Structure 1
Amino acid sequence: MNGAVDLPLGLAELSFDAAGDARVRRSVLPSGVRVLSEQVPGSRSVTIGFWVAVGSRDEQPSASGHPATYGSTHFLEHLLFKGTTTRTALDIAISFDAVGGEHNALTAKEYTCYYAKVQDRDLPMAVAVLADMFTSSRLDAEEFENERGVILEELSMAGDDPADVANERFFEAVLGAHPLGRPIGGNPDTIRAAVRDAVWEHYRANYRPSDLVVTVAGAVDHEVLVAELERALTGAGWDLSVEAAPVERRPVGPAVLEVARPLTVVQRPTEQINLLLGVPGLVATDERRPTMSVLNAIFGSGMSSRLFQQVRERRGLAYSVYSFAPGYSDAGLFGMYAGCSPSKASTVAALMRTELDRLAEHGVTADELRRASGQLAGASALALEDSDTRMSRLGRSELTLGEFADLDEALRRIALVTADDVQALAAELAARPFSLVAVGATEESAFRGAVEAAAPSTDVA
């Protein structure tokens, strides 16, 4: 494979070799269903995912007689395991338990995925069960109410975790009213207000052939996979002879964000302050994403990173400290996290800001650049030993990026990043409006100097 491979929605068949002698194939069925596989030599297991490009950001308020769909994606993540027209919840669980397989689902901001990992010989079973769940969930009214209680308990558990609270408030502070700023799982109010009819409407509107992407990695034969999938979907009642184009991918490019909230303090009686400081980042398709990866590696990923060395090793101010840089179709973040005692929190926040400013002003060394490239190369190669990672890579490639880049191509892009590139991006980030979120036993006055912000925009809870 030489360079990234584009994934046009209108191309029915595509196949190519990838790094490590893997074989990637893609079929777009006449019904709009997209099937991608990565056959990995020597693998005895396989991971399969059923995806839709619908996440928490796609939920809508009530309008024109339609009830609000807030919380629907999280409800569906739970309810699709609760029984179909032909399988009970116990039947679904037994199917995977009986073969030592794993199955689960995840709701994200821009997609939902139902996945399983099994031995290669059990792939037909996994296809059949996941297809049944995806197409024929009953969304039983009694189960709906049961799961409302389960989800509320899940949110309560997250609400008791100050790191989770800080993370959700951080997205809200940086992204503001943008739908990506909403919590993925909803909140207690939206979950209590959700009604089955709204979730059912959300399900029927978004779980269609043209929305479905199936990705499989490991010990997989593509032609057999497609045949098994068509058999399962047809058996579940889908008419795959009706031609339809796959749903269009989300428009890409930075959205216009409202002015970030500079300071958010959530008071909790905890021993530590969970501290997040950051700015708007890069979208997922930005050509500078490799530069962001290198910057993040140098700045806050690993024990040799600048944040770790300055905050933990040299000063002993925190145990956990790192940076992160998620990207979505039209927005992104660059954030820094630390957990520290209340008496040290303002010092840590100031150090975070100072270190980013220093990176923007003075750049990086040749040794840091070389070390970051090695770190990213090793981490990427090790991650791809797992079929789960490969399956997820196929899903993101198809749903968000519109291209597939194998390990060789990813490392080639990393190798092209220069010290000037990193410094220029750091300077751009450092010039953006900062948001600071602190959760713990603290007051907002402790952080006034850590961000350049006006007092009227602060928020204390």
Structure 2
Amino acid sequence: MTGAAPLPLDQAELTFTASGDSLVRRSVLPSGVRVLSEQVPGARSATIGYWVAVGSRDEVVATYGSTHFLEHLLFKGTANRTALDIAVSFDAVGGEHNAMTAKEYTCYYAKVQDKDLPMAVEVLSDMITSSVIDPTEFENERGVILEELAMADDDPSDVTSERFFEAVLGEHPLGRPIGGSPETIQAATRESVWEHYRANYRARDLVITVAGAVDHDELVAWVTRALTAAGWDLSIEAAPVERRDATHDVIERGSPLVVVHRPIEQANILLGVPGIPAADDRRSTLAVLNSVLGGGMSSRLFQEIREKRGLAYSVYSFSPSYSDAGLFGLYAGCSPAKAAQVTELLLSEFRRLATGGITDDEMRRAVGQLSGASALALEDSDTRMSRLGRSEITLGEFADLDESLRRLSLVTAHDVRELAVELVARPLSIAAVGTIDAATFDGLALEPIAV
């Protein structure tokens, strides 16, 4: 293929060959269900995902955490299968199955041998369409989720991350915790979660992606048969649900500094700014910037803070992106006594990208790292399945490895510096957890800078 392949919602069938001679096909059924497959030559297994484009950002105040609550409940049984039946279906064939709730989508997935793919379609279809959300199971799972939240609250890195998203993104729905809070989970009712389920798990919301050893026509037949058997009337015509508005949202900073005092051995520090959306043309530029700053052992943060000074074991940068917003962050874990020094180094290295740019050698190294990592990741059908889902739900286009590498090759050092200048001018936030307090960060120049 040449360039990225657009994925228009009003086109029923698409077929194209991607890099490595994999065959990508997409069918939009009359009911609005979208089925995408990537047939990989030589594969003997397949990863399948059932996606709905609803995540934690889509919840109202009364239902915070209900998307994640519902993800748990769909494993607890249907009219046809108990929770044990679902587990046994995959365990008996050596398969793997799980789910993930994100800020903009939920995905239920499995990895199986090619001969077991029809079973995976049948079981996942049953889970998606026919969960009974049994009242007893609901109460049991409430306890499980409260334990999950307690476990996360005991992990200082999780606490730092949640406070960081709130600090950077403020009142934006993306700033909320995916799992809700103990208070909202305690207040959740079966009726509210059931309503959330019925409102968002419909044929027009469903995206099914499979990568590996898969025949597309067989897949569509299995999906149609399984969803019909589960009670969905696929003869009722409906357009697929529209993708989210990709207009870059305005972010109002929640707080410049959030410190959570915990009597632990390390201070966990995150600092950063609003980033760029998933479909921004500068995603490749940001990938290079992130690689140079904190994307590996040769990155500036790793070399300056760990190798030269021995101030931290873990130090890196990261750049999650969403349909209308993003975030760029830098992390380090260090002794509380070194927290101010490490924060100053994180900040100075971040700003040095804007004031001094990057070298030609750093550019070559970053492009090489990103190119190699992208190629190696695609050895796994899980990655390919996820790429299909993200392409369909968020991006509206499919970019194969060749196209991704082409876009990387177009990035220049000037582009990287230009984006760095933009990022350092945005409101900065710090979140920290440890045996420290707000005074630890006194004297740091935390206001945005203009270069």
TM-score (norm 2): 0.98
- Which string of whole-angstrom CA distances, capped at 9 and with x for unpartnered residues, describes residues 307-357 of structure 1? 000100011110000000011011111000000000111101001111111
- Which string of whole-angstrom CA distances, capped at 9 and with x for unpartnered residues, describes residues 82-120 of structure 1? 000100000000000000000000000000000000000
Tell me which residue corresponds to 1:80: 74
CA contact (8 A) 2:344 2:444 kept: yes
SS of aligned partner of 2:315 = strand
Tell me which residue corresponds to 2:300: 306
Closer, same or farther: CA 451–97 of 1 in aligned 2, 3 Å: farther
How do residues 23-102 of structure 1 correspond to structure 2 at under 5 angstroms?
A: 23-61=23-61, 68-102=62-96
SS of aligned partner of 1:152 = helix
CA contact (8 A) 1:262 1:451 kept: no
Tell me which residue corresponds to 1:457: none
How do residues 17-416 of structure 1 correspond to structure 2 at under 5 angstroms?
A: 17-61=17-61, 68-416=62-410
CA contact (8 A) 2:265 2:434 kept: yes
Paired with 2:396 and 2:275, the residues of 1 have a C-alpha distance of 20
Q: Which amino acid aligns with 1:227?
A: A
- State the Cα distance separating 1:400 from its structure 2 match: 0.1
CA contact (8 A) 1:46 1:120 kept: yes
- Which string of whole-angstrom CA distances, capped at 9 and with x for unpartnered residues, describes residues 257-309 of structure 1? 21341110000010000000000000111100000000000110100000000
CA contact (8 A) 2:55 2:106 kept: yes
How do residues 419-434 of structure 1 correspond to structure 2 at under 5 angstroms?
A: 419-434=413-428
Q: Which amino acid aligns with 2:23?
A: R
- State the Cα distance separating 1:450 from its structure 2 match: 3.0
CA contact (8 A) 1:435 1:451 kept: no
Paired with 2:150 and 2:445, the residues of 1 have a C-alpha distance of 31
Q: Which amino acid aligns with 1:441?
A: T
Tell me which residue corresponds to 1:459: none
- State the Cα distance separating 1:451 from its structure 2 match: 4.5
- Which string of whole-angstrom CA distances, capped at 9 and with x for unpartnered residues, describes residues 104-158 of structure 1? 0000000000000000000000000000000000000000000000000000000
Which stretches of structure 1, 4 residues or more, deviate above 2 A after TM superposition? 448-454
CA contact (8 A) 2:31 2:237 kept: yes
The answer as to 2:416 corresponding to 1:418 is: no
- State the Cα distance separating 1:448 from its structure 2 match: 2.4
CA contact (8 A) 2:33 2:240 kept: yes
Paired with 2:225 and 2:386, the residues of 1 have a C-alpha distance of 24
Paired with 2:125 and 2:63, the residues of 1 have a C-alpha distance of 24
- State the Cα distance separating 1:253 from its structure 2 match: 1.9
Q: Which sections of structure 2, spanning at least 5 residues, go unmatched? A: none
SS of aligned partner of 1:446 = helix
CA contact (8 A) 2:171 2:254 kept: no
SS of aligned partner of 1:450 = coil
The root-mean-square deviation of aligned C-alpha atoms, in Å, is: 0.9
Q: Which sections of structure 1, spanning at least 5 residues, go unmatched? A: 62-67, 455-461
Paired with 2:370 and 2:35, the residues of 1 have a C-alpha distance of 29
Paired with 1:423 and 1:300, the residues of 2 have a C-alpha distance of 15
CA contact (8 A) 2:26 2:34 kept: yes
Paired with 1:333 and 1:91, the residues of 2 have a C-alpha distance of 41
- Which string of whole-angstrom CA distances, capped at 9 and with x for unpartnered residues, describes residues 167-221 of structure 1? 0000000000000000011111111111000000000000000000000000000
Q: Which amino acid aligns with 2:71?
A: E
- State the Cα distance separating 1:453 from its structure 2 match: 5.3
Closer, same or farther: CA 188–453 of 1 in aligned 2, 3 Å: farther
- Which string of whole-angstrom CA distances, capped at 9 and with x for unpartnered residues, describes residues 53-74 of structure 1? 000000012xxxxxx2221111
- State the Cα distance separating 1:256 from its structure 2 match: 1.4
SS of aligned partner of 2:442 = helix
Paired with 2:446 and 2:148, the residues of 1 have a C-alpha distance of 36
The answer as to 2:16 corresponding to 1:16 is: yes
Paired with 2:444 and 2:71, the residues of 1 have a C-alpha distance of 39
Number of residues of Structure 1 aligned to a counterpart in Structure 2: 448
- Give identity over the alignment, percent: 73
Paired with 1:452 and 1:232, the residues of 2 have a C-alpha distance of 56
CA contact (8 A) 1:260 1:433 kept: no
SS of aligned partner of 2:237 = coil
Paired with 2:373 and 2:443, the residues of 1 have a C-alpha distance of 36
CA contact (8 A) 2:58 2:173 kept: yes
SS of aligned partner of 1:286 = coil
Paired with 1:92 and 1:296, the residues of 2 have a C-alpha distance of 41
